[in-house]
């Protein structure tokens, strides 16, 4: 089972690019972020005609997450537990049925800028809630893939120019420590584990400004975290870097893992 994450930066604006990538990706499950669409406005018929089961947690104009799956999706839940007042559409869970059931937790973690400030406070509070939910998912002892745009640069090697991000919410020590606390619960960073000694990259995001793509001035903020049961099934993982060079691309590229399931 090939499971991918893709911050599409507007599903309607990138529908042609997303459709082309889906045709070539051979993916079984795709988690999308920044769909920027209400649930009723999501082009589900388009993807349904292509053979995808679709579940969304949308929001008008920004945020929004979705799961596309070749197999049926069960036990779908929307919204990160822990704060009933949080109205931002950033989290969705579902179980993918098949030869082996896999729990999918798709997320779009808050950016947090400018920091310090209320947006950064919200980011850190959201990460504390995510840590709690991650611990609960581990207790289930089923294969879980928690994936999406985490908006956290884990290490200096995950940025082409780490010094440029020193004061940014994506790279502040508190953000990185919050992600480490989740990882230390027992999760495997699938993209990093494929080349743990890499001195630079791989990157998953290049800004549209200042020729970042042409200069390979990227960062790694899209992550696939595997529970121990999912990590035991990992066959291969990758970053579809070439998607950034396509027509009207997202500023992110897909990251994926293949499980023996």
Which residues carry out catalysis?
A: 108, 149
**What ranges in 26-172 are assigned the alpha helix state H?**
44-49, 118-139
Strand 65-69 and strand 255-259: the pairing is unpaired
Strand 255-259 and strand 2-7: the pairing is antiparallel
Burial 224-257 (b: 16+ CB within 10 A, else e): bbbbebbbebbeebbbbbebbeeeebbbbbbbbb
Q: CB neighbours of 62 closer than 8 A, spacing ≥ 6?
A: 34, 36
Cβ atoms of 193 and 237 within 8 Å: the answer is: yes
CA 46 from centroid of its chain's CA atoms: 22
H or E segment to which residue 25 belongs: helix 15-25
């Amino acid at each position: 089972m090939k499971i991918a994450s893709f911050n599409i930066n507007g599903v309607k604006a990138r529908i042609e690019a997303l459709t082309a990538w889906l045709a070539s990706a051979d993916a079984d499950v795709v988690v999308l972020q920044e769909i920027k669409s209400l649930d009723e406005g999501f082009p589900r018929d388009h993807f349904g005609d292509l053979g995808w089961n679709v579940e969304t947690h949308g929001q008008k104009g920004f945020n929004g997450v979705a799961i596309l799956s070749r197999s049926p999706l069960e036990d779908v839940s929307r919204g990160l537990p822990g704060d009933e007042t949080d109205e931002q559409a950033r989290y969705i869970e579902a179980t993918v049925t098949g030869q082996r059931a896999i729990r999918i937790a798709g997320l779009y973690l808050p950016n947090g800028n400018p920091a310090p400030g209320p947006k950064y406070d919200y980011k850190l509070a959201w990460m504390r809630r995510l840590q709690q939910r991650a611990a609960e998912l581990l207790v289930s002892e089923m294969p879980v893939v928690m994936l999406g745009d985490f908006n956290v640069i884990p290490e200096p090697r995950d940025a082409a120019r780490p010094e440029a991000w020193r004061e940014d919410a994506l790279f502040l020590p508190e953000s990185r420590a919050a992600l480490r606390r989740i990882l230390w619960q027992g999760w495997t960073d699938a993209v990093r584990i494929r080349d743990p000694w890499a001195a630079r990259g791989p990157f998953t995001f290049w800004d549209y400004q200042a020729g970042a793509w042409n200069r390979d001035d990227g960062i790694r903020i899209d992550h696939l975290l595997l529970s121990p049961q999912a990590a035991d099934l990992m066959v291969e993982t990758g970053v579809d870097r070439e998607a950034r060079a396509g027509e009207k691309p997202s500023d992110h590229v897909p990251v994926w893992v293949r499980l023996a399931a």
